[in-house]
């Protein structure tokens, strides 16, 4: 299979074809080899515009959603970015093609270890993968120019708000239930002043952790986002 042609077709039909216009995002999506982030037996589907199953009953993100969330961050290059929910490492790689440094947090140690290995093999030396509770962020490397959360929570965690630089943007699914959310963008205008915008309706896996959904509230661990 010619993955390069499949990747370009994905961009033409499902990324730029669905309205993504940021040239940095389009270029990043064109450079990241999505087939390296999916199990070998489903690599032929790597450039279909849908989530695919990975380890720990989780999914690799839909390419269009990765592009949409990355574009919403309005990156220009040179930023320090925090990602919550490493998963396969695919979205972190897209971010790393634009940003200077990416810190990615994954609550499942097995996924964090696997993503770390794949990213190292692909020479992404500007990504730091941390195993832990993403709802609390990563104060060690804060503040961040941008934060992206790839799971849906009942509200934006206060820890993440406080780790965002003034002028920085946070993109995250937020909603009253675990299975339906609104993708929002929060901009830190001043030290204690934030602006929130609703972008679109989405469906993501639940954000579990101290400042997200608790384990006993968790309804369905395998819901893929659309």
Tell me which CATH code domain 3-210 carries: 3.40.50.150
| pLDDT of the residue at 75 | 98
Looking at residue 74, its pLDDT comes to: 98
- Reported pTM: 0.93
pLDDT < 50: residue spans in the chain: 219-226
Q: What is the pLDDT of residues 98-109, one digit of tens each?
A: 999 999 999 999
Domains of the chain: which residue ranges? 3-210
Residue 149 has a pLDDT of 98
- Per-residue DSSP letters for 149-215? E-SBBSS--HHHHHTEEEEEEEEEEE-SSSS-EEEEEEEEEETTEEEEEEEEEE---B-BSTTSB-G
Closest CA to 97 of 143, 11, 29, 19: 29
Q: What is the pLDDT of residue 218?
A: 55
Which of 16, 61, 201, 222 is flagged as catalytic? 61
61: annotated active-site residue: yes
């Amino acid at each position: 299979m010619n993955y390069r042609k499949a990747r370009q077709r994905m961009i033409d039909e499902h990324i730029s074809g669905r309205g993504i216009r940021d040239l940095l995002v389009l270029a990043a999506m064109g450079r990241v080899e999505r087939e390296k982030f999916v199990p070998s037996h489903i690599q032929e589907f790597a450039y279909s515009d849908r989530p695919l199953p990975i380890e720990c009953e989780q999914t690799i993100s839909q390419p269009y959603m990765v592009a949409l969330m990355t574009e919403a961050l309005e990156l220009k290059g040179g930023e320090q970015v925090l990602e919550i929910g490493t998963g396969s490492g695919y979205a972190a790689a897209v971010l790393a093609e634009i940003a200077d440094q990416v810190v990615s947090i994954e609550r499942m140690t097995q996924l964090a270890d696997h993503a770390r290995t794949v990213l190292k093999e692909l020479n992404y030396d500007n990504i730091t993968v941390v195993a832990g509770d993403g709802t609390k962020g990563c104060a060690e490397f804060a503040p961040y120019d941008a934060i992206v959360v790839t799971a849906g929570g009942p509200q934006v965690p206060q820890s993440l708000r406080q780790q965002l630089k003034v002028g920085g943007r946070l993109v995250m699914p937020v909603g009253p239930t675990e299975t339906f959310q609104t993708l929002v963008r929060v901009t830190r205008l001043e030290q204690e002043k934030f602006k929130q915008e609703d972008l679109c309706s989405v469906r993501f896996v639940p954000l579990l952790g101290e400042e997200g959904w608790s384990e006993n509230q968790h309804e369905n661990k395998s819901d893929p986002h659309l």
